Amino acid sequence: MNLTLEAPRLTAHDRCDRCGAQAYVKVLLEAGGELMFCAHHARAHEDALKGIASEVIDETERLHIKPEPVED
Quick: pLDDT tens for 36-60. 999 999 999 999 999 999 999 999 9
Residue 5 has a pLDDT of: 57
32 to each of 17, 38, 48, 59, how far by Cα in Å? 16, 20, 16, 21
Residue 67 has a pLDDT of: 78
Residue 65 has a pLDDT of: 80
- pTM of model > 0.85: no
Q: What is the mean pLDDT of the chain?
A: 89
Contact criterion met (CB below 8 Å) for 36 and 25: yes
